[in-house]
Amino acid sequence: MKIEGVNNLLPNPIQQQKSKELSDESFGNTISGFINDVNNSQIDSQNKIQDFVNGKGVELHEVMVIGEQAKTNLALLMEIRNKALDMYKELTRIQI
């Protein structure tokens, strides 16, 4: 039976520093990236629809799938916006 040291049980400061560096990304950068992703999915959906209409070998199910993905991404973005506005309103109400 192999006995391991207690070093494995203690937090590793190097590992904690790496995780802190990764989490330093600001909320604004995260939201901006997500908005860009949603915009790209909308553009991809429009391009796929155009390819389908022009008969460029795109199947209907591909158009439907990418369209639903774009719709879901937009709905998620709108919910995030709504929650952020609710949070802002609540914070301003508390400060009064």
With 80 as the cut, is the pLDDT of residue 72 above it? yes
pTM of the prediction? 0.67
In a domain? residue 89: yes
CA atoms within 13 A on the CB side of 25: 9
pLDDT at 25: 73
Which alpha helices (DSSP H) does the chain contain, by range? 13-23, 27-53, 60-95
Which has more confidence, 89 or 28?
89
Q: Flag whether 18 is in a domain.
A: no
Residue 88: which domain range?
A: 30-95
How far does the chain reach from its first CA to its final CA, in angstroms? Answer: 64
Residue 4 forms part of a structural domain: no
User: 10-49, pLDDT tens digit by residue?
Assistant: 566 555 555 555 555 788 898 899 999 999 999 999 999 9
Q: Is the residue at 2 inside a domain?
A: no
Is 87 part of any domain? yes
CA atoms within 13 A on the CB side of 82: 6
Type of residue numbered 40: N
When divided into structural domains, the chain yields a total of: 1
- 10 falls within a domain: no
Whether residue 16 is contained in a domain is answered as no
Question: Is residue 37 in some structural domain?
Answer: yes
